[in-house]
A and B are shown apart, each in its own frame.
Chain A
């Protein structure tokens, strides 16, 4: 019996001493962290994608709390959580948040297998970066999409994939969080973050070819030749032509699609608009009259 008693007392004493030491250490070496950081962290998605520009969600939480103390949450936006999450964070921190437009990644190239003829065969490591270093690629266009999928590999959300028929990547509007990983991964700067638009509708020039007209036409059937018709046509001054290629400013574009109609090369693309209604012929009109 004595042994049991001694064992209990000794172990109990060790436990007590350890507890006191740990308690003292936790007080002496404690790192003060603003409790709001953890609270904000709870609200963030936890994907640690880096799309906000900070190292992970904890980095973002830290930045948000600092921003709140500095008086403004401008420039801080979680693309994954979107406006909803930012709203909740702002409420928690007692701040107002500016309404930011949802963005989406847009692949500005329409040089599909059909439109762009292959003039060479690439043999080797099939990444866009390697092909870009090797030369213009397998076609005559040195600016266009190489189709090897560096953007697909960079996307953490499975929002972009190569269409096997066209050879060009396509973005899934619902999955895209506009984190910008694909934009950085593309060695030719073809992908851009643009406004998602009402009902996911947007208009953009699907070409980044800076070669002069004749060279661009030889390379691809739907390349922009920098003729400037769209620039003249746009009633809102949203289009500029620089370096033989047109660019539509997505902040100014009102989706009127006048430019789409005048482009001689069909280089301007309007997505998610309804198909134009078939016009009734005169005979049909007479029949119903």
Chain B
């Protein structure tokens, strides 16, 4: 007879694992990745592969040579996700060396210095993007136009829908908004001559990813729904008060809001742990996004809104507790 094994209960486990969740997110990002190749061609290919490769390389190297850990955490797939999300925030004509710096910041500074997976306070991809924006403002704010397949560094750049909205609000001129693509074009990404970051261009692809993740219970509906809902309502109210503000549908599909709401804000490590907390978090991100977009200096507000709320997550976790069983409401 073989050995008897003992342990404390429970003695069964679900088939879920960290890898399953991480690779599930990667699969959810595939439609957006394909859309980005379709709209931005060679540039997208170069920037994405550099970003993913660099993030994986830096995580492996830091684990092995600086932290001298016996086991490398590369296999759990989180470095690949950071690489993809960072790339989706970048313009497709960004030089490779800048992408490498971004990856180093994202993995090295935002993730590994805090203790690796599970311990970072800020979303690594967003920290990488914010660092690049501050360090290389010119390169990070010139967005190539879609449809230039073979172009990389020499791609022709143009105005993104958000920058059009930004100028319209600053100048108080509603007529400038006529240059905006229609809502359907924004949704599908087929903005003829329009421009933007690689991952945010096609809302439909991102929604496929959302559906996949919800079905596989990788994320719950609370954060995306509260962010998008808040932006819709807030932007809608503003639009009703003064039509220079974009209409709510445009607000939803322009810029990185979809990408942010579905993939960045739902990052496990940096978002609150309770449904109530997640809704508060989502509403705050929505409000901040609209404020920064309409009255802040930058045309895009999602990244900063998420980073700011990441800082509040520990506070939300501390004070927002789930309803206890048997708790009599006060």
**Can you list 16 contacts pairing A with B, beta carbon distance less than 8 Å?**
A119-B4, A120-B3, A120-B4, A120-B5, A121-B4, A121-B5, A122-B5, A122-B7, A123-B6, A123-B7, A124-B8, A125-B8, A133-B8, A134-B6, A134-B7, A135-B6
Cβ A123 vs Cβ B5 within 8 A: yes
Cβ B8 vs Cβ A121 within 8 A: no
Cα distance A272–B269 in the bound complex, in angstroms: 54
Q: Which chain A positions have C-beta within 8 A of B3?
A: 120-121
User: Is there a chain B Cβ closer than 8 Å to A130's Cβ?
Assistant: yes
Interface size on B, residues (CB 8 A): 6
Cα distance A122–B6 in the bound complex, in angstroms: 5
Q: Which chain B positions have C-beta within 8 A of A134?
A: 6-8
Report B45 CB to chain A, min CB distance, Å.
Answer: 46
Q: Which chain A positions have C-beta within 8 A of B4?
A: 119-121
Q: Residues of B with Cβ closer than 8 Å to A?
A: 3-8
Q: Residues of A with Cβ closer than 8 Å to B?
A: 119-125, 130, 133-135, 138
Chain B residue at minimum C-beta to C-beta distance from A133: B8
Cα distance A73–B324 in the bound complex, in angstroms: 51
Cα distance A134–B11 in the bound complex, in angstroms: 12
Not counting A122-B6, A122-B7, a sample of 18 additional A-B residue pairs whose C-beta atoms are within 8 angstroms of each other reads A119-B4, A120-B3, A120-B5, A120-B6, A121-B3, A121-B6, A122-B5, A123-B5, A123-B6, A124-B7, A124-B8, A130-B8, A133-B8, A134-B6, A134-B7, A134-B8, A135-B6, A138-B6
Q: Which chain A positions have C-beta within 8 A of B6?
A: 120-123, 134-135, 138
Cα distance A237–B5 in the bound complex, in angstroms: 45
Chain A residue at minimum C-beta to C-beta distance from B4: A120
Q: Which chain B positions have C-beta within 8 A of A125?
A: 8
Q: Which chain B positions have C-beta within 8 A of A124?
A: 7-8
Report B7 CB to chain A, min CB distance, Å.
Answer: 4
Report B248 CB to chain A, min CB distance, Å.
Answer: 51
Cα distance A144–B8 in the bound complex, in angstroms: 19
Report B328 CB to chain A, min CB distance, Å.
Answer: 33
Cα distance A225–B5 in the bound complex, in angstroms: 28
Q: Which chain A positions have C-beta within 8 A of B8?
A: 124-125, 130, 133-134
Chain A residue at minimum C-beta to C-beta distance from B2: A121
Report B23 CB to chain A, min CB distance, Å.
Answer: 26
Report B99 CB to chain A, min CB distance, Å.
Answer: 42
Cα distance A125–B9 in the bound complex, in angstroms: 11
Chain A residue at minimum C-beta to C-beta distance from B8: A134
Cα distance A124–B6 in the bound complex, in angstroms: 8
Q: Which chain A positions have C-beta within 8 A of B7?
A: 122-124, 134
Q: Which chain A positions have C-beta within 8 A of B5?
A: 120-123
Q: Which chain B positions have C-beta within 8 A of A133?
A: 8
Q: Counting chain A CB atoms within 10 Å of each CB, which of B3, B4, B6 scores highest?
A: B6
Cα distance A133–B4 in the bound complex, in angstroms: 17
Cα distance A135–B8 in the bound complex, in angstroms: 9
The 10 closest A-B pairs by CB, nearest first: A124-B7, A120-B4, A123-B7, A134-B8, A120-B6, A121-B3, A121-B5, A123-B5, A122-B6, A134-B6
Chain B residue at minimum C-beta to C-beta distance from A120: B4
